[in-house]
Amino acid sequence: MSRIVCNSGPLIALGILGKLELLQSLFDEVLVPEAVQREIVQGGVKLAGLESFQRAQWIRVVSPKQNDTLLAALLDTGEAAVIALAREHGIPVVLIDERKARKVARDVYGLQPVGTARIPIEAKKKKLLTEIAPSPEALRREGYWIHEDIVHAALREAGETQ
């Protein structure tokens, strides 16, 4: 994986975990649309992840040059901007957690959506993390919801279940 465009949810989650720098270690270039930057700055979960995001000078904040009316009709502003930016820059991988946005990215635009849970798995494979098990509970304590099925699948793939 060399380049990725990120939505606010995963950036907030990785910020909560203090693991935002994993993106820098896993990707050569990390792009974030201005709309997503605004979402993070305006609040998120208790302004969670804001400090990590503001310190991450390696994240490139860019806006798509054109608005896609289909995306605008189907998704929220940040998700639509992520997909539009990925298409404009020829970046096949988008970091999005929301199911509907992932489906649109994959089925309508042919992109490869990955979720927050994928980042620690890839980091563990590259020996950047020794375990991923503490991550889901830490997110829940901070009010960030992650489905139990996703947690189990991630732990299984990371080799952390019996």
Is residue 162 a part of any domain in this protein? no
Nearest 5°: the CA angle 39, 42, 47 is: 100
User: Does pLDDT of 44 surpass 70?
Assistant: no
Q: What is the mean pLDDT of residues 16-45?
A: 89
What is the domain-level CATH number for residue 50? Answer: 3.40.50.1010
Question: How many domains does the chain contain in total?
Answer: 1
User: Does pLDDT of 72 surpass 60?
Assistant: yes
CA within 13 Å, CB half, 50: 11
Residue 145 structural domain: 3-157
pLDDT value of residue 22: 95
pLDDT value of residue 55: 84
Q: How many residues does the chain have?
A: 162
pLDDT value of residue 158: 92
Percent of the chain at pLDDT > 70 equals 94
1-32 per-residue burial string, b: 16 or more CB within 10 A, e: under 16: eebbbbbbbbbbbbbbbebbebbeebbeebbb
Can you tell me the distance from the alpha carbon of 114 to that of 130, in angstroms, rounded to the nearest whole number? 21
Is residue 65 a part of any domain in this protein? yes
**3 φ/ψ angles, rounded to the nearest 5 degrees:** -135, 150
Is residue 94 a part of any domain in this protein? yes
E-strand ranges in the chain read 3-6, 29-33, 59-62, 93-95, 112-114
Q: What is the mean pLDDT of residues 70-81?
A: 92
Can you tell me the distance from the alpha carbon of 58 to that of 19, in angstroms, rounded to the nearest whole number? 14
Band (28; pLDDT cuts 50, 70, 90):
very high
